[in-house]
Structure 1
């Protein structure tokens, strides 16, 4: 382990928490300063679109009590000077470092006057709206957040309209077969699904669509994906393109003292021929935060590449949907177990005959098998 004295971790969500924990567990005895935009202890985001909307507020991440270092809550980093190794905060505080972990996450794409769901405050506000008697909910975007909100709203007895710009919800991430099944699954559970159109604006309860139609809804929620929080890095010298560009070891390109982890990191992935990959899911942030911290302590020459197979899971109207790898990179897909008609099936995605992705619906054991094949880079 190389000698570092002051490490700054910017971002106090899951990746930042795991980074701080790993630093201490690896024996780092210097000063750690954790900068967090929120005032809460780090919490789990996946329940925000599910159990929190049902009334469960228990979302604090285990391990948050370990944050006994200098923890600056409610503070934003506004500038990085990589040459002088200084992070400037929104209150003017300048933090010097000899090691930096960037874990600033991402924020939802916004629509004026429309609810988004990223923070505990967002979830509590949306829960209050759902409890206030609104009967018709419009969800913009059928990704995993939009799908989970639509599912929860239906469980609460609300009428739901889901608008998605793709032919089927989650078309890119799930592929044709699974996305077509998901569309039918939404409709079987009472969701009014509108696809291949975009919402161009929302005005006074009216949502205007790109095909000229307008929809009326009492409550509108946008789930249109996220944008990495990298604006504070403008002028820093770091390369930023849909995230902080990193080596396979999570070191920022060209840096020997800065690593990145979680939703903000876009790194060269060894399983995909060094293609830059950015993954927005819980398991990635959970694992990357610790690996980035350990690599920071090890130094660039001794750092280990982060080549975990991406994976995520969601529950929609009672069905468990899981993915592994990057299905959108495939040139061929085939159902290898079950069938969509049975609501239990798995799809293998290959490129040039090599597994690159997998999707499973209500078949978790099959997903594990397919994930192993992706990791091993051998045909299944």
Structure 2
């Protein structure tokens, strides 16, 4: 309980981990290191309420800054770790300062994929959306009458398109795959969100990619793979994220689509743990990496317990959400390996849910403005029960009765 613990990465996972360590009785030196100047904050609102101006900066903070001082947590913001010395058990900061540890946790999260400079990725006015600096940098672009190209039809791109359209920006969204949400959702969910965005004036082009951006120092246009040219004021790149494993790799830790950890969040070094977006962990006989707030919190708390000698096997219960216009999408479970889907009409206009099945087993539910379907589906998935697909599709069926 009195060991020196250092946590690298002051995002959702890092903040949750240090708080849980104190809750579980750790009394030793505890340091949380973050590269950004702000204290730990929520990321999901950045591309939604914060970008729209509906949420003040202080409301983003996960906890008041004073919390860390009150808990005896040494919060080091605007601080980068240059390397991890596993043999000496210390980390070296970018200014040369050395911090010793008895146990170390890596919660470095993920970083956005960017466009290569060769196709215009280094031009001014080309943005990504991942952190507070990204949101502050792109906010002035979202002005009525401006023209934007959004590259990527996943949830990051669609959320940005919704905010831009709401601000009066003329939006073109291109997706190289045959449809939007191709990697993460069924055609029925993609159809729903395509119609939603089209109704708000977004020009969605599927099966079309970006050939290059053009401009003299700043982006002014784009050439698409179908030969189309567009005049632009700015562009936003939403082509996915990757785990931030640089420090772990340089330290020689085992990497497997993220920092490889066991069921108690231990890495290949028994003194080093990891949690959040940057990790891959055991799940149902395989390994997965989850990019979600719930996973960051739950896995970080499991890591804290293991660091204090109270390991419990981490069992992920995946769930996610996305806000676009006046639609709240709630996702329970993972649809990997689904064979068919069932569409259930919602209780009000414009609401519906998509239920994913492998054989007769329920895998996941996408619920659009359907909180009841989401809650019932989530409980069933967690309990390992699967309702009859025909009953689910029948709007007259009482979902709660299916739980019984």
TM-score of the superposed pair, with normalisation by structure 1: 0.91
**Helix, strand or coil for the counterpart of 2:385?**
coil
In the alignment, what sits opposite 1:305? 313
* Equivalent-residue separation in structure 2 for 1:353 and 1:77 (angstroms): 49
* Equivalent-residue separation in structure 2 for 1:165 and 1:147 (angstroms): 14
* Equivalent-residue separation in structure 1 for 2:230 and 2:240 (angstroms): 21
* 2:207 aligned to which of 196, 221, 227: 196
Single out whichever of 26-35 and 68-77 deviates more from structure 2. 68-77
Q: What is the root-mean-square deviation in Å for CA atoms of aligned residues?
A: 2.0
In the alignment, what sits opposite 2:118? none
1:147 and 2:158 aligned: yes
2:150·2:174 contact (CA, 8 Å) conserved in 1?
yes
In the alignment, what sits opposite 2:230? 215
Aligned-residue offset at 1:6 = 0.6
**Helix, strand or coil for the counterpart of 2:36?**
coil
1:23·1:294 contact (CA, 8 Å) conserved in 2?
yes
In the alignment, what sits opposite 1:175? 186
1:257 and 2:271 aligned: yes
In the alignment, what sits opposite 2:298? 287
Question: Relative contact order, CA 8 A, sep 6+: which one is greater?
Answer: 1
* Equivalent-residue separation in structure 2 for 1:21 and 1:181 (angstroms): 40
1:9·1:34 contact (CA, 8 Å) conserved in 2?
yes
Render the CA deviation track for 1:91-115: whole Å, top value 9, x for unaligned: 2223221211111011111122311
Give the 3 Å change call, closer, same or farther, for CA 355–63 of structure 1 in structure 2: farther
1:346 and 2:353 aligned: yes
In the alignment, what sits opposite 1:125? 137
**Helix, strand or coil for the counterpart of 1:327?**
coil
* 2:177 aligned to which of 161, 166, 181: 166
Which entry has the higher C-alpha Rg, 1 or 2?
2
Give the 3 Å change call, closer, same or farther, for CA 211–340 of structure 1 in structure 2: farther
**Helix, strand or coil for the counterpart of 1:329?**
coil
* 2:96 aligned to which of 68, 92, 95: 92
* 1:364 aligned to which of 358, 371, 378: 371
* Equivalent-residue separation in structure 1 for 2:198 and 2:174 (angstroms): 12
In the alignment, what sits opposite 1:116? 128
Give the 3 Å change call, closer, same or farther, for CA 322–9 of structure 1 in structure 2: same
1:181·1:340 contact (CA, 8 Å) conserved in 2?
no
1:65 and 2:66 aligned: yes
1:331·1:352 contact (CA, 8 Å) conserved in 2?
yes
1:104 and 2:115 aligned: no
**Helix, strand or coil for the counterpart of 1:15?**
helix
1:246·1:265 contact (CA, 8 Å) conserved in 2?
yes
Tell me the matched-pair count: 369
1:322·1:361 contact (CA, 8 Å) conserved in 2?
yes
Aligned-residue offset at 1:222 = 1.0
In the alignment, what sits opposite 2:15? 17
Give the 3 Å change call, closer, same or farther, for CA 209–242 of structure 1 in structure 2: farther
Give the 3 Å change call, closer, same or farther, for CA 341–249 of structure 1 in structure 2: same
How do residues 327-346 of structure 1 correspond to structure 2 at under 5 angstroms?
327-335=335-343, 337-338=344-345, 342-346=349-353
Give the 3 Å change call, closer, same or farther, for CA 30–123 of structure 1 in structure 2: same
Structure 1 outlier segments of 4+, above 6 Å: none
Give the 3 Å change call, closer, same or farther, for CA 134–117 of structure 1 in structure 2: farther
Give the 3 Å change call, closer, same or farther, for CA 295–189 of structure 1 in structure 2: same
Give the 3 Å change call, closer, same or farther, for CA 349–64 of structure 1 in structure 2: farther
How do residues 34-73 of structure 1 correspond to structure 2 at under 5 angstroms?
34-55=32-53, 56-57=55-56, 58-68=59-69, 69-73=73-77
Q: Give unmatched runs, 5+ long, in structure 2.
A: 116-120, 388-404
